[in-house]
Amino acid sequence: MTQNGRYIPEPIKRQIRQRCGFGCVICGLPLYEYEHMREWSIVKEHNPDEMTILCPTHHAEKTRGLLPIAEVLTANSKPHNLRFGMSEAFPLRYSGDSCLVNFGSNRFMHDFARDAVISALTIRGYPVIRIKKQDGSLLLSLRIFDKEGKLLLDVDENELIFSVDSWDVELVGKRLTIRSGLRAILAQVEFVAPSAIIINRGTFAYDGFQVQVAPDHILLEKYNIRMEKTSARMNGGGGFRFD
């Protein structure tokens, strides 16, 4: 399906990012623009097979003629992220003296004056969502799985990577959404710099235990624990603990 005009319909965008591994075909960065490989003035249609995705830097290089089109075509046929099976690391920029974690409608505040490391979610002693203060930066770590236990999203001290095997992965504004199909969201996280994170959907797992997050609650099926709209201030590094 092709259409005229500068507006690119959503299904066409999705088809392009799926084929390109949800990142710039040259460097894999999940911050990108949809780009016609040949000049718009020549093609004048949105044919997904003729389009690719490039990060702002590589897009600018191509526009100025510093990045040869042949190189873009080569990268488009073997996109960076598909060669590695995971996305290129994307740096998150958290900082400050306090943080807010909104976790399936449950809110937690923490002030780092006393503790340099906090765990917002601990399962069987393992800090599943952890934030550490270091040299003025806040370093976020978390891992989100699907229900079968496959790793979808990994943030390791602010370095965000995701699996490119998912049906769709999209970073729109501050919000990263991973889908298994149309309107089927597996994980959704909003990275609100400098110091907040909102987790709307996802599965956090450790040692056979799983915590499911939905926009309005969290659920630990094994213990039949459901929590919604709680609000607390973390003290002594303690957030949710399931042991």
Distance (Å, whole) CA 74 – CA 96: 42
Closest contact distance (angstroms) between CB of 27 and Zn ion is 3
Closest contact distance (angstroms) between CB of 19 and Zn ion is 16
First to last CA, the chain: 52
Closest contact distance (angstroms) between CB of 170 and Zn ion is 17
Closest contact distance (angstroms) between CB of 54 and Zn ion is 6
Amino acid 240 reads F
Using alpha carbons, list the distances in angstroms from residue 194 to 95, 126, 144, 158, 228.
5, 25, 21, 12, 25
Q: Among residues 9, 13, 14, 27, which is the contact residue for Zn ion, using CB under 5 A?
A: 27
Burial of 173 (0-12, 13-18, 19+ CB in 10 A): exposed
CA 222 to chain CA mean position, Å: 27
* Residue placing its CB nearer to Zn ion in the complex, 24 or 219: 24
The residue range among 1-9, 20-28, 67-75, 170-178 that interacts with Zn ion, by the rule CB under 5 A, is: 20-28
Tokens of 65: 């003629």
Ranges within 144-183 binding Zn ion (CB under 5 A): none
* Residue placing its CB nearer to Zn ion in the complex, 89 or 227: 89
The residue range among 17-25, 97-105, 124-132, 165-173 that interacts with Zn ion, by the rule CB under 5 A, is: 17-25
Closest contact distance (angstroms) between CB of 176 and Zn ion is 18
User: Do residues 145 and 203 make contact, with C-beta atoms less than 8 angstroms apart?
Assistant: yes
Q: Among residues 20, 26, 121, 186, which is the contact residue for Zn ion, using CB under 5 A?
A: 26
Count of residues touching Zn ion (by CB under 5 A): 5
Q: State the binding string over 42-61 for Zn ion (x if CB under 5 A, else -).
A: -------------x--x---
* Residue placing its CB nearer to Zn ion in the complex, 81 or 195: 81
Instruction: Confirm or reject binding of residue 24 to Zn ion (CB under 5 A).
Output: yes
Closest contact distance (angstroms) between CB of 82 and Zn ion is 14
Instruction: Confirm or reject binding of residue 67 to Zn ion (CB under 5 A).
Output: no
* Residue placing its CB nearer to Zn ion in the complex, 27 or 109: 27
* Residue placing its CB nearer to Zn ion in the complex, 35 or 146: 35
How, if at all, do strands 137-145 and 126-134 pair? antiparallel
Closest contact distance (angstroms) between CB of 36 and Zn ion is 16
Q: Which residues bind Zn ion (CB under 5 A)?
A: 24, 26-27, 55, 58
